[in-house]
């Protein structure tokens, strides 16, 4: 069993690696995309991260992963950029979509190549594409989703 502190450090590094790849690919990573990519990293690549994903309102969700990204923001290693989401009819701001951006320098290591390729594949996809894939392949994690039917076109 891996110690909680080791999991925390591994996840901090992998979050920064994901955001590094996203920056290089000129791709956005929001909370939903972050959660789903890390879910797929555990499920598809077999990387044990101790994140304990559970079915949630937008598919698999890890409270621990959210705590990790929040801590990186607090430490000043990750920025949050908020974009207004407007009602198409009234043009009123109805919510904000937050995108995570890596601050400062990050140097990947030789051992990161495989995971970087995995991240590269998924950050290039839209949030809807990722959600559709997750809902189809792992339906048990979409059972509480508020948007599953819309994403799957049912």
106 is written with which tokens? 């990050």
Residue 52 confidence (pLDDT) above 60:
yes
pLDDT at position 5: 82
122 is written with which tokens? 């998924």
The CA–CA distances, whole Å, from 105 to 16, 101, 153 equal 10, 12, 41
Q: How confident is the model at residue 146 (pLDDT cuts 50, 70, 90)?
A: confident
**What span, in angstroms and rounded, lies between the C-alpha atoms of 18 and 129?**
18
Contact criterion met (CB below 8 Å) for 80 and 73: yes
Range list of H helices, the chain = 4-24, 31-45, 63-74, 113-123, 127-137, 148-152
4-49 pLDDT, tens digit each: 888 888 999 999 999 999 999 999 999 999 999 999 999 999 999 9
Rounded to an integer, the average pLDDT of 94-123 is 94
* Annotated domain spans of the chain: 4-152
CATH number for the segment(s) 4-152: 1.10.10
Rounded to an integer, the average pLDDT of 71-91 is 92
67-76 pLDDT, tens digit each: 999 999 999 9
- As a whole number, the mean pLDDT across the chain is 93
pLDDT at position 154: 66
pLDDT at position 1: 54
Residue 77 confidence (pLDDT) above 90:
yes
pTM: 0.91
């Amino acid at each position: 069993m891996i110690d909680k502190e080791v999991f925390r450090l591994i996840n901090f590094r992998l979050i920064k690696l994901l955001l590094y790849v996203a920056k290089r690919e000129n791709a956005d990573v929001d909370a939903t995309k972050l959660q789903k990519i890390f879910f797929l990293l555990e499920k598809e690549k077999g990387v044990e991260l101790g994140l304990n994903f559970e079915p949630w309102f937008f598919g698999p969700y890890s409270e621990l992963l959210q705590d990790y990204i929040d801590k990186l923001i607090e430490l000043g290693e990750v920025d949050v950029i908020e974009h207004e989401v407007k009602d198409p009819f009234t043009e009123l701001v109805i919510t904000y979509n937050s995108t995570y951006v890596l601050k400062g320098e990050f140097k990947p290591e030789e051992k990161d190549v495989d995971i970087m390729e995995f991240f590269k594949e998924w950050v290039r996809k839209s949030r809807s594409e990722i959600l559709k894939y997750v809902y189809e392949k792992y339906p048990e994690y979409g059972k509480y989703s508020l948007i599953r039917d819309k994403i799957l076109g049912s």
